[in-house]
Structure 1
Amino acid sequence: MAQQTESHESSRLDAVERHGYLFGHPIAHSLSPLLHQTIYDGIGLPWSQFPLDSTDMALFLRLREDPRFYGASVTMPHKVAILPHLDGLTPEGSAVGAVNTLFIRTDPETGKRLYMGTNTDVIGIRDSFYANVSDPDTSFHGRPALVVGGGGAARSAVYALRTWMKASKVYLVNRDRAEVRAVIEECTARGYGDDLIDVSTVSQAQELEGVGAIVACVPNFSPKTETEKEARAVLECFLQKSHKGAILEMCYHPSPWTEIAEISQKEDWKVILGTEAMIYQGLEQDKYWTGKTVEQMPVKKVMEVIAAKLSEARL
Structure 2
Amino acid sequence: MAIATTTTVTSQQEQPLALTLESRIDQLEKHGFLFGKKLAASMSPLLHDVVYRGIGLKWEQIRLDSTDMDLFLRLIRHPKFYGASITMPHKVAIIPHLDELTEECRDVGACNTLFLRTLPDGRRLFCGANTDVIGVRESFVQNVPDPSVYENRPGMVIGSGGAARSAVYALHKWLKATRIYLVNRDKSEVDAVVAECSERGYGDRLVHVETVEQAEALEGPGAIVACIPDFPPVTEAEKVVRRITEVMLRKEGKGAMLEMCYNPSPYTALGALAESEGWQVILGTEALIWQGIEQDKYWTGRDTSELPVAQVKEAIATRLAQISKS
Same fold (TM over 0.5): yes
Which of 23, 29, 32 is the equivalent residue of 1:11? Answer: 23
Aligned equivalent of 2:108: 96
Which of 295, 307, 315 is the equivalent residue of 2:317? Answer: 307
CA RMSD of aligned residues (A): 1.5
The alpha carbon displacement at 1:8 in A equals: 3.6
Change beyond 3 A, Cα 1:151–1:284 = same
The alpha carbon displacement at 1:37 in A equals: 0.4
Aligned equivalent of 2:253: 243
The 8 Å contact of residues 159 and 192 in structure 1, kept in 2 or not, is answered as no
TM superposition score normalised by structure 1: 0.96
SS in structure 2 at match of 1:243 = coil
Aligned equivalent of 2:123: 112
Which consecutive unaligned segments of at least 5 residues does structure 1 have? Answer: none
SS in structure 1 at match of 2:72 = helix
Q: Distance in 1 between matches of 2:17 and 2:190?
A: 44
The alpha carbon displacement at 1:70 in A equals: 0.3
5 Å-filtered alignment, 1:138-149, equals 139-149=149-159
Aligned equivalent of 1:228: 238
The 8 Å contact of residues 42 and 297 in structure 1, kept in 2 or not, is answered as yes
1:163 aligns with 2:173: yes
The 8 Å contact of residues 22 and 52 in structure 1, kept in 2 or not, is answered as yes
Aligned equivalent of 1:27: 39
The alpha carbon displacement at 1:186 in A equals: 1.3
Q: Distance in 2 between matches of 1:155 and 1:266?
A: 27
5 Å-filtered alignment, 1:67-86, equals 67-86=79-98
The 8 Å contact of residues 96 and 190 in structure 1, kept in 2 or not, is answered as no
TM superposition score normalised by structure 2: 0.93
The 8 Å contact of residues 26 and 53 in structure 1, kept in 2 or not, is answered as yes
SS in structure 1 at match of 2:203 = coil
Post-superposition CA distance 1:12-64 (Å, at most 9, x none): 11111000000111211111111100100011111110000010011011101
Judge which range, 35-44 or 189-198, deviates more: 189-198
The 8 Å contact of residues 17 and 64 in structure 2, kept in 1 or not, is answered as no
Which consecutive unaligned segments of at least 5 residues does structure 2 have? Answer: 7-14
Aligned-partner residue type, residue 127 of structure 1: E
Aligned equivalent of 2:53: 41
The 8 Å contact of residues 227 and 259 in structure 2, kept in 1 or not, is answered as yes
1:287 aligns with 2:294: no
The alpha carbon displacement at 1:248 in A equals: 0.1
SS in structure 1 at match of 2:204 = coil
Kindly, what percent of the aligned residue pairs are identical? 58
Aligned equivalent of 2:10: none
Aligned equivalent of 1:124: 135
